[in-house]
Amino acid sequence: MTDPGLIDGRYRLVRPLGRGAMGVVYEAEDENLQRRVALKKLSAVGGMSADDEALARFKREAVALARIDHPGVVSLYDSGLHGDVPYFVMQLVDGVDLATLVEAGALTPGVACAVGLGVARALAAAHEAGVLHRDVKPTNVGITRQGSVVLHDFGLARLAGESAITRTGVTMGTPQFMAPEVIMGAAPGPTADLYGLGVCLHFMLTGNLPFGPAAEVGAVVDSALGAGIRPLSTGLFPFTPVNLALLVDRLCAREASARPRTAAEAVRLLEPFGGDDGQAALAELVAASVRNTAILQACETPAGTRETPPESGPEYEWDEHALPGPRVPRRDVFRPLTLSTTTRRLVLSSMTPQNAVSRQREAVNLVLRGELQEAAEMLSSITQVCLSSLGPDHPTTLAAQFWQAVCLARLGAGPKALELFSSVNRHTDQRGNDSDE
């Protein structure tokens, strides 16, 4: 019997990470090399022809990624077909995306420039390889726990010299971060990617979307083609150095000719504002974000209680055309990363103490390898399932909570870790007392 969770006999799907217009991205385990990877599958299934537009764009993303060799661009490991569904396997970036990082508010100029420099260097490498990204935005900028910036999701990438796949009259991209000339239908060039970089810098330095939180695409387009992005150099944001504000305004210029001509030039212009201090502060922010997420995941199911599966719940996905402002809760735009009703029922129907222990061993190996973010997320899911199917006193449930507490402690979330350790101790003591009786 075919295992639906095993792709091409090698990649075991662990959990969905997100769903976009083209495909679904999963965290997966490469069973041959015993490492975590990101696996992207095309959303369409069955009936695809060789000239299908989505399939062509999907293949082009793989070709684009394969052309680029740079630490700031997500690495492509493998590609293939699973049945009639194409997939490719990429580097799994541990950390957070830029949109998540700005939820707490505007970033300091040093931190913003550290991110901007990372994006600019990645774009320079992509452009050198003849690849335009065409969708530079905060959700496509990953930042590792070491403070390294990794540009990903080349789903709209266009190889220089190739004709566009997109149907006539259809504009692909995210209007908040799309260059005005592209909105009007012109072929994108390197300066269109630099516009996206400029808007990301504007977003980081102000903590707000350039045209406000309006979800109506028409209003965003009217603003982008009308007055354009409000200049930083007007003095409304006094904490931004004047020369940096002028550079961001230049990157965000409505006219492509007013922007820096190349990504390499943008790197050169940004370098005076970035430094090691900014990257160190960036790493601290990412560590705090990962720690807070782990705490929230641990709090989703109170320790020691039996969870009742909800009647309905969202799948793992996000809204690609909206981003949260700094004070808007993440869950208003990004749907919560909890088990969906369908997933929960599927897992609960097949959960036994034996396979729960197997999944738990995988998570413990992640802990021992220092892959704490992935381990914390995996253990959170295992704990939810164990509480529902095995109960709060089952040894597998208690073991999952113990290792979840270990993750929290190593991530620096001491109080929540102690709370979980105490809960495990109480239930263990109670089991011992019951057995004595």
11-37 pLDDT, tens digit each: 999 888 877 656 788 889 999 998 889
The amino acid that residue 337 corresponds to is L
Q: pLDDT at position 109, please?
A: 93
Residues 260, 251 contacting (CB under 8 angstroms): yes
- The torsion region of residue 342 among left (phi > 0), alpha (psi -120 to 50) and beta comes to alpha
Q: Which residues pair with 15 in a beta bridge?
A: 27
Tokens 């387009």 belong to 221
Q: What are the distances in angstroms from CA 259 to CA 126, 177, 191, 228, 338?
A: 18, 15, 7, 14, 42
Assigned token pair, 156: 């709209």
Instruction: Return d(Cα 306, Cα 390) in angstroms, integer.
Output: 9
- Same domain, yes or no: 105 and 79: no
Residues 127, 75 contacting (CB under 8 angstroms): no
Instruction: Give the domain extent around 314.
Output: 301-436
Q: Which residues pair with 25 in a beta bridge?
A: 18, 40
The reply to whether 287 falls in a domain is no
Q: pLDDT at position 344, please?
A: 43
The reply to whether 293 falls in a domain is no
3-state secondary structure of 309: coil
Instruction: Return d(Cα 215, Cα 194) in angstroms, integer.
Output: 23
Q: Which positions of the chain have pLDDT values less than 70?
A: 1-4, 20-22, 43-54, 57, 155-173, 214-215, 300-355, 429-437
- Same domain, yes or no: 130 and 39: no
The reply to whether 289 falls in a domain is no
The reply to whether 1 falls in a domain is no
- Same domain, yes or no: 110 and 82: no
The answer, as to whether pTM is greater than 0.75, is no
Of 29, 60, 90, the one marking the end of a domain is 90
Q: pLDDT at position 259, please?
A: 96
- Same domain, yes or no: 311 and 274: no
Looking at the 3D structure of the chain, how many domains does it have? Answer: 3
For the chain, the residue count is 437
- Same domain, yes or no: 193 and 315: no
Q: Annotated catalytic sites, by residue?
A: 135
Q: pLDDT at position 200, please?
A: 96
Rounded (10°) CA dihedral 188, 190, 195, 198: 160
Counting beta carbons within 10 angstroms of the beta carbon of residue 324, is it exposed (0 to 12), middle (13 to 18) or buried (19 or more)? buried
- Same domain, yes or no: 307 and 420: yes
Instruction: Return d(Cα 29, Cα 31) in angstroms, integer.
Output: 6
**Residue list, annotated binding site for ATP:** 40
The reply to whether 290 falls in a domain is no
Q: Which residues pair with 266 in a beta bridge?
A: none
Which residues, including other chains, have CB under 8 Å from residue 20's CB and lie 6 or more apart?
Answer: 153, 155, 320
